[in-house]
């Protein structure tokens, strides 16, 4: 095609696909081109703006490495990660929420009742509940991969003062589907702002805060894996999470209890002198076949 114009370039692009292109790849690429071309026309994109966009992507690539995932962060602050989550979330299970860039695989096993905070100081939080199917039947042998920031608001991969697996652990549920561990009360924190995504947030007058949360990935044989987070209902950023991760069924209430009510069977049993908080939250998985 030698007479490409702004009116036919999208159709010309569609005609360039080889016959043996994977059909799903064709569908995704064609729709992407349609929307991209329409966007450029819609905003009357200038050369300078186009170049700025290219330079932004280059800068995102340059700052990224195995632990810094600037493109994931870009997707998060644009709402794309959450939109993909919501498109595939099932209403008969616990909602999913963003994975974020700070999960690390290979966390150590954490027995029921373990203390994930170890030597860290802070308000003690007992996180517990059951992993169940949509009907509320307990799921035995479910693996719960948990992670959160230290009290300074940094994940272990962002903080040289922390061990690799600090505030990370994997617990397996027993026959009653129960999980339970202690930690410190999570804090609100900011997403990284020292890269190009931070520049966008500042340029558009947005703050970088996330409401405090605990991250969970739950896996069990025969069930869809669930990537999610839980949030306390009193966090000031609950209604303005910069990565759009909050869903109403993921919001819970901390209950404050006196030390005398701390349960048996935990590493900290008998060692609590002050009040402690409880986050009791059931996690519902959806069967694979449904």
Q: Which does 191 bind (CB under 5 to 8 A by kind): ligand BEZ, Fe ion, none?
A: ligand BEZ
Token pair in block for residue 112: 């029921």
Which of 93, 101, 169, 186 binds ligand BEZ (CB under 6 A)? It is 101
Instruction: In angstroms, give the least distance from the CB of 124 to ligand BEZ.
Output: 22
Size of the site for Fe ion (CB under 5 A): 1
**CA gap 150, 158 in Å, rounded:** 10
Cα 265 to the chain's mean position, in Å?
30
Under rule CB under 6 A, residue 187 binds ligand BEZ? no
Q: Which does 98 bind (CB under 5 to 8 A by kind): ligand BEZ, Fe ion, none?
A: ligand BEZ
Under rule CB under 6 A, residue 266 binds ligand BEZ? no
Which of 117, 130, 185, 210 binds ligand BEZ (CB under 6 A)? It is 210
Residues 73-102 that bind Fe ion (CB under 5 A): 100
Which of 70, 76, 133, 145 binds ligand BEZ (CB under 6 A)? It is 76
3-state secondary structure at position 120: coil
Stretch of 94-102, 138-146, 193-201, 271-279 lying at the interface with ligand BEZ (CB under 6 A): 94-102
**CA gap 32, 14 in Å, rounded:** 11
Instruction: In angstroms, give the least distance from the CB of 54 to ligand BEZ.
Output: 24
Instruction: In angstroms, give the least distance from the CB of 97 to ligand BEZ.
Output: 9
**CA gap 282, 33 in Å, rounded:** 42
Residue 88 CB-density burial (10 A; 0-12 exposed, 13-18 middle, 19+ buried): exposed
Stretch of 100-108, 134-142, 169-177, 266-274 lying at the interface with ligand BEZ (CB under 6 A): 100-108
Buried b / exposed e along 219-253 (16+ C-beta atoms within 10 A): bbeebbebbbbbbbeebebbeebbbbbbbeebbbe
Candidates 33, 196, 28, 168; CA nearest to 104 is: 168
Residue closer to ligand BEZ by CB (options 151, 287) is 151
Contact pattern from residue 214 through residue 253 relative to ligand BEZ, giving x for each residue in contact according to CB under 6 A and a dash for the rest: -----------------------------x----------
Confirm if 185 and 212 have CB atoms less than 8 A apart. yes
DSSP annotation of 183 reads: E
Under rule CB under 6 A, residue 180 binds ligand BEZ? no
Under rule CB under 6 A, residue 73 binds ligand BEZ? yes
* Total number of residues shown for the chain: 290
Token pair in block for residue 203: 């340029």
Under rule CB under 6 A, residue 100 binds ligand BEZ? yes
Candidates 166, 273, 146; CA nearest to 219 is: 146
Residues at the site binding ligand BEZ, with contacts judged by CB under 6 A: 73, 76, 98, 100-102, 191, 210, 243
Residues at the site binding Fe ion, with contacts judged by CB under 5 A: 100
């Amino acid at each position: 095609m030698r007479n490409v114009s702004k009116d036919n370039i999208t159709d010309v692009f569609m005609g360039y696909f080889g016959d043996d292109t994977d059909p799903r790849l064709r569908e995704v690429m064609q729709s992407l081109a349609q929307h991209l071309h329409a966007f450029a026309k819609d905003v009357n994109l200038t050369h300078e703006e186009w170049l700025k966009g290219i330079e932004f992507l280059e800068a995102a690539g340059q700052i990224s490495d195995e632990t810094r995932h600037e493109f994931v962060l870009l997707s998060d602050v644009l709402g794309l990660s959450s939109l993909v989550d919501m498109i595939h979330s099932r209403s008969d299970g616990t909602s999913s929420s963003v994975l974020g860039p700070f999960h690390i695989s290979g966390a150590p096993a954490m027995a029921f009742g373990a203390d994930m905070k170890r030597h860290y100081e802070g308000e003690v939080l007992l996180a517990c509940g059951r992993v169940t199917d949509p009907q509320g039947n307990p799921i035995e042998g479910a693996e719960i991969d948990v992670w959160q920031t230290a009290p300074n608001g940094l994940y272990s991969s962002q903080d040289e003062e922390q061990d690799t697996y600090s505030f990370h652990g994997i617990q397996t549920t027993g026959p009653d589907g129960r999980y339970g561990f202690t930690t410190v009360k999570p804090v609100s924190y900011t997403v990284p702002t020292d890269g190009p995504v931070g520049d966008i947030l500042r340029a558009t007058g947005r703050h970088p805060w996330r409401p405090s949360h605990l991250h969970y990935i739950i896996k069990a044989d025969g069930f869809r894996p669930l990537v999610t987070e839980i949030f306390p209902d009193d966090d000031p950023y609950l209604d303005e999470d910069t990565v759009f991760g909050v869903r109403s069924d993921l919001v819970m209430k901390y209950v404050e209890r006196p030390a005398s009510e701390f349960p048996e069977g935990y590493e900290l049993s008998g060692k609590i002198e002050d009040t402690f908080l409880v986050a009791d939250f059931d996690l519902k998985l959806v069967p694979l076949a449904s």
